[in-house]
Amino acid sequence: MREYQLKYGCNPNQQPARIYRADGGALPFEVLNGRLGYINFLDAFNAWQLVQALKQMTGLAAAASFKHVSPAGTALGLPLGERLKKACFVDDLAGLDDSPVACAYARARSADRLSSFGDFIALSDPCDVVCAELIAREVSDGIIAPAYDPEALMILCGKRKGGYAIIQMDPGYAPPEMEERQVFGLVFAQRFNDAQIHEDLLRQVVTRHKMLPEDARRDLLLSLATLKYTQSNAVCLSLDGQAIGIGAGQQSRVHCVRLACGKADLWYLRQHEKTLNLPFLPSVGGPARDNAVEAYIQQGAVAFSQGRWQGLFSQEPEDFTREEQEACIAACRGASLASDAFFPFEDSILRAHDSGVSFVAQPGGSVRDQEVIDCCDRLGMTMALTGLRLFHH
């Protein structure tokens, strides 16, 4: 197939729309089910590049949950502890421990569940039955993977009344050296961004604190790889092999950090005993549950007592006080934060420290680099200058 007719472009009024290779060659993918639009493919191809990069970098299965051409979550296929399984709502999923690709998606999906609603999924490895069973119970628009177990494909084809978008990607496809895009009838051409994310980027540790454990290195590299495919400005916090907070598409660096750290704070609080033990009725569906969890953390049990969430719980939840939340977040340390461009002021570092960030990677190049480094020194944080900017638009 050399051309695919899209359902429509960015919006339904933007028709006709199609996808084809500039060199006229065969398309490197096959649509196994559903009909896709312009944004579906933008999500799919950006997410595919990201999980392929993570797989190449770590040798582990990887997954990404994309929305509007930025990741809501990315993760590696590491095992989940019992608390994390409960926080990801997969503690009842049989066979999860034996499926690295399902572990990766469980982590990626649960980093920011509200943003992942209606996501496009990318898997670095073939989709197995366990992963398909997990996807089947989430609200999702489509998936791209190198292959599908036959039974897994049957499960996925049953989603969205049979219209779930399923792409099988050729893992051997490599893009040309130059890429082009049109804006307002004008053609832009640039070299394809083939910059590699690797450990050498973390060699230049500029703070007094030089400690950079293996887990922190892995998480910094995961964050950097994630930023390469995230709309700029962008910042990513990672911990334990998964992104826990992504701030994308902001005009200021500090707003990226505030957004990413706010999501990371929610991630910590979702693993608190009070949140894990919310008395949901068995009939409560995933989207209602996800909204209620976030409202409970942000507004407290008073939201229930006022009737906003009646019908979801078997009894009134115990209040989760601001003091308890602050203590929970303060106890969390060891997160890794990466930025796609330099920090112009120390305000971003101060905010990151409040959300448990201990390790930082950024390109450097600001006239205030030393002020930022000094701030890290005061706070006991480790910072590496990568020298590599990762803008993505």
- How far are the Cα atoms of 52, 233, 372 from residue 125, in angstroms, in the given order? 9, 29, 39
How many whole angstroms from its chain centre is CA 8? 26
Q: Coil, helix or strand for 339? A: strand
Distance separating alpha carbons of residues 356 and 336, to the nearest angstrom: 9
How many whole angstroms from its chain centre is CA 122? 11
Distance separating alpha carbons of residues 167 and 165, to the nearest angstrom: 7
* SS3 per-residue string spanning 205-255: ECCCCCCCCHHHHHHHHHHHHHHCCCCCCEEEEEECCEEEEEEECCCCHHH
* DSSP symbol at 99: -
Nearest to 335 by CA among 271, 254, 243: 243
Q: Which of 13, 161, 210, 393 is catalytic?
A: 393
Q: Which of 46, 233, 272, 353 is catalytic?
A: 233
> Is residue 228 among the annotated active site residues?
no
Distance separating alpha carbons of residues 104 and 123, to the nearest angstrom: 8
> Is residue 68 among the annotated active site residues?
yes
Helix, strand, coil % over all residues of the chain, rounded to 5:
35, 20, 40
52 Cβ contact partners less than 8 Å away, ≥ 6 residues apart: 124, 171
Distance separating alpha carbons of residues 198 and 224, to the nearest angstrom: 9
Compute the C-alpha angle 102/31/38, nearest 5°: 95
Compute the C-alpha angle 236/238/240, nearest 5°: 170
Q: Determine how many CB atoms are found less than 10 A away from the CB of residue 392.
A: 18
Distance separating alpha carbons of residues 309 and 289, to the nearest angstrom: 10
Q: Which of 7, 68, 86, 255 is catalytic?
A: 68
Distance separating alpha carbons of residues 29 and 26, to the nearest angstrom: 9
Strands (DSSP E) found in 303-368: 335-339, 357-362
Distance separating alpha carbons of residues 48 and 57, to the nearest angstrom: 14
Q: Which of 40, 46, 55, 67 is catalytic?
A: 67
- Any idea which residues carry the catalytic annotation? 67-68, 233, 393
